[in-house]
Amino acid sequence: MANPISETQAINPGSLIELFELTTDAALHGSATTYRFHAGTNEVNNGNIIWDGNTYIAIPMEADGFKYANGQLPRPTLTISNVTNVITAILLNVNQVTPGNDLTGAVVKRRTTLARFLDAANFSGGSNPLGTPDPTAEFKRQIYTVDRKAAENREVVEFELAAAIDMAGVRAPKRQCT
């Protein structure tokens, strides 16, 4: 197993690859489905990335606010292009089961690795010229839940995420969590 942290300290560390997994909950959304996507491209068809045998769909998006500051948990935003209507289709499917849910409670995993660890299928010639594919070489996964849909229009859908341990407003027995 390669260590991506030590690889970033090398003279030529390579490209950082950011991948996202959105998993719906059967109880909240009607089915437990995982959607995988990323904001980059690959060398073969300038599109989807394959890592660990899973296909991550290329879709224009912006993820921001993952930095921890002043001891507070981050509240990142995930802005996804709605031009292809992929996100709208997911929202419509969820709203048929639970009207007004808008993916609230869905789990978002942010996975980061380096290009040298991507599957060989992403490169012309069928081999990774940057290094050896390794699905275990990733930085620490960041797990969030969709707190709310902040905006939706023809161009983008924006979600506000909350850390999995962010329990503001949840009542533990006889205690208010803040």
pLDDT of residue 43: 62
**Averaged pLDDT, 96-108:** 81
- 29 vs 156, more confident: 156
One-character DSSP codes across 82-123: -TT-HHHHHHHHHHHHSTT-TTTT-EEEEEEEEGGGS-GGGS
Model pLDDT, residue 115: 84
pLDDT value at 45 more than 70? no
In this structure, are residues 118 and 128 in contact, taking their beta carbons and an 8 Å threshold?
yes
pLDDT, position 171: 54
pLDDT tens for residues 69-97?
777 778 899 999 988 888 888 888 887 77
Look at strands 142-152 and 107-114 and give their pairing: antiparallel
Query: What band does 101 get if pLDDT is binned at 50, 70 and 90?
Result: confident
CA pair distance 161, 159, nearest whole angstrom: 6
In the DSSP assignment, the letter for residue 140 is: P
> What pLDDT is recorded for position 166?
67
pTM above 0.85, yes or no: no
At residue 157, the pLDDT reads 92
Q: Which residues contact 92 (CB under 8 A, 6 or more apart)?
A: none
